[in-house]
C-alpha cells in the first residue's frame, strides 16, 4: 500500500501583526483528497505534534470539510516518532506559519531527506517549500540545488501585503540555495516536477501538486 505523509506547521502567529496563521487548510485538503481517491494511505505530521493551527477554513468547501471530518488533527505525531521507511512521499502543506517553523524543524527535514534518499517523493506547495530552504541530503548538499521549483512568489507576497512581515522571501531564499525558481502569474495554478521533487506555487496549485505526486507514485 502506498503511504503519503502530509506535513503541517505548528506556528500560529503572523509575525508581530497580532493576526493568527497556521497551515492553509486547502493546501492540505486538496492533495489529501487526490491521494485518498488514488487509494493511498495518508498520515499527518506536524512540527510540534498535537493540533496544528488552521488558517483559511472555508465552511462551504466540500473538500475542506471532508478533510476536516476524516483526519485526526487533535493528535498529529511529531517527525521523531515516525519511520521514513513507511512512506513513499511527503508533502509539505503551506500556510504562512510554515515560514517560521519549517526551516528549523530538524527532525521533519531529516525525515523528508530520508524518504527522498530511499527513492520517495518530496513535495511542497505555496509556502510549504520553506521546508526546502534548509533541507540537506546526507552528502551535505541542499535538495533543491540545481532543481526546478515553484513556490509563493515575491509578487504574491507583495500582493497580500506581507513582504515585510515574513522572516524571508521564499523565492529569494530558494534561489540562494541553488534552486531555479519559476514564477507564473499571480494566483495561477503552477506545479513544477523535477525528478522526485514536486512543488506548487500557491493555494491554486495544491490540487495539481497532489496530482503530480500521485502520478509519480503510480509509476513506482
**Hey, which residues are catalytic here?**
126-127, 157
List the beta strands (DSSP E) in the chain: 3-8, 23-24, 41-46, 54-55, 89-92, 121-125, 148-149, 180-181, 191-194, 197-200
Q: How far apart are alpha carbons 6 and 176 in whole angstroms?
A: 26
Phi, psi dihedrals of residue 123, rounded to the nearest 5° = -135, 155
Q: How far apart are alpha carbons 40 and 145 in whole angstroms?
A: 29
CA pseudo-torsion sign 25, 54, 49, 152: positive
Q: How far apart are alpha carbons 78 and 76 in whole angstroms?
A: 7
Amino acid at each position: 500500500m502506498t503511504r503519503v505523509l502530509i506535513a503541517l506547521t505548528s506556528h500560529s502567529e503572523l509575525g508581530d501583526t497580532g493576526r493568527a496563521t497556521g497551515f492553509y487548510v486547502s493546501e492540505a485538503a486538496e492533495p489529501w483528497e487526490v491521494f485518498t481517491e488514488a487509494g493511498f494511505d495518508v498520515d499527518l505530521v506536524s512540527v510540534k505534534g498535537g493540533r496544528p493551527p488552521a488558517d483559511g477554513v472555508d465552511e462551504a468547501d466540500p473538500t475542506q470539510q471532508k478533510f476536516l471530518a476524516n483526519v485526526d488533527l487533535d493528535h498529529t505525531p511529531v517527525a521523531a516518532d515516525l519511520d521514513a521507511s513507511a512512506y513513499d512521499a511527503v508533502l509539505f502543506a503551506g500556510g504562512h506559519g510554515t515560514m517560521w517553523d519549517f526551516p528549523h524543524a530538524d527532525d521533519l527535514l531529516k525525515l523528508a531527506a530520508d524518504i527522498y534518499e530511499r527513492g520517495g517523493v518530496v513535495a511542497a506547495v505555496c509556502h510549504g517549500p520553506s521546508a526546502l530552504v534548509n533541507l540537506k541530503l546526507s552528502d551535505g548538499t541542499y535538495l533543491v540545488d540545481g532543481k526546478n521549483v515553484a513556490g509563493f512568489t515575491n509578487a504574491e507576497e507583495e500582493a497580500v501585503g506581507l513582504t515585510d512581515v515574513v522572516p524571508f522571501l521564499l523565492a529569494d531564499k530558494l534561489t540562494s540555495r541553488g534552486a531555479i525558481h519559476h514564477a507564473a502569474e499571480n494566483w495561477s495554478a503552477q506545479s513544477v516536477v523535477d525528478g522526485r521533487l514536486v512543488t506548487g506555487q500557491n493555494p491554486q496549485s495544491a490540487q495539481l501538486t497532489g496530482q503530480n505526486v500521485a502520478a509519480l507514485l503510480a509509476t513506482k
